[in-house]
Amino acid sequence: MASWQGHRAATSSLLIDVITTAVTGSGRVSRADRVLFTACEFWAAARNRTVLEQLSDDAVAQLQAAETSFAVIGLWEVASIMRRARRALTESGSSVALKYVAESIENSLSDVAEPVDQLIAEYADRRASDRQNELG
């Protein structure tokens, strides 16, 4: 996996606004904001190879949220990777270790063909426009 330089500027800018809103309680955090936050958080964990730490608290719920967020953004291949990982953890009789699932996610996402950073940035741009319209 090539060195990742972090989220694109449009993504980071809106993400800071979303986090500030959530922390200060200065406004409502919308479903669209949560989608962006979840996708950014999970993508950063994958790129930094820290998915195991990301999944340390309720892995199944986190994978479900990530799957939904990536699907909303239109990242179908990434959403499918999340779905397969979630199923691996939830299948009856499955003894798949969380460490193995996290490594599998990281490896799969390192080879994903979708332009993840670009599509997240485009989603952030659309969301920023929507937020402007909501305010003005």
Question: pLDDT by residue (tens digit) across 32-48?
Answer: 888 998 999 999 999 99
pLDDT number for residue 42: 94
Report the run of H or E that residue 131 belongs to, with start and end: helix 116-135
Tell me the pLDDT band of 108, cut-offs 50, 70 and 90: very high
Whether 82 contacts 132, CB under 8 Å: no
Q: Which residues contact 41 (CB under 8 A, 6 or more apart)?
A: 54
Whether 101 shows a pLDDT value over 90: the answer reads yes
pLDDT number for residue 131: 67
Is the alpha carbon torsion for 98, 31, 132, 121 positive or negative? Answer: positive
How is residue 101 written in tokens?
A: 């699932």
